[in-house]
Amino acid sequence: MLMRHAKSLNKGGGKRRRKSREKEAEEEEKEEKRGKKKREEEERREKKREEEERRREKKKKKKKKKKKKKKKKKKKKKKKKKKKREEPGREKKKKRKRKRRRRRKRRETLL
């Protein structure tokens, strides 16, 4: 009887228990795999974000480095000198004088 008792102790549980343990182990493995995939995806996303941030920073630095363009000096336009116009009253007087002279000359030639 002692031997039978010892054998049953060595068996280590029934079939049902063993199967449930195996199922639990499989489920844990699946969960670990899922967790790994999720972690990997998150890591990839983080890497992409970091790369984008680096690119943005590089672009900002490049923009800062751009040299300022020198402004071209505008050429000053030379002002045209206006011809001095004689006063309008003077011109009329001169015309009148010419007319008078012509009239006199005509009269003299006619007489």
| Torsion (CA) 11, 16, 22, 25 in degrees, nearest 10 | -110
φ, ψ dihedrals at 56, nearest 5°: -60, -45
Tracing tokens 């009239």 back to the chain, one arrives at 103
Taking CA atoms, 26 is separated from 14, 15, 34, 36, 37, in Å, by 19, 17, 12, 15, 17
- Over range 29-52, report the average pLDDT: 90
pTM exceeding the 0.85 threshold for the entire prediction: no
pLDDT of residue 2: 52
Work out the pLDDT band at 1, boundaries 50, 70, 90: very low
* Mean predicted lDDT score pLDDT of the chain: 81
Domain boundaries, the chain: 28-54
Q: What angle do CA 96, 100, 104 make, to 5 degrees?
A: 175
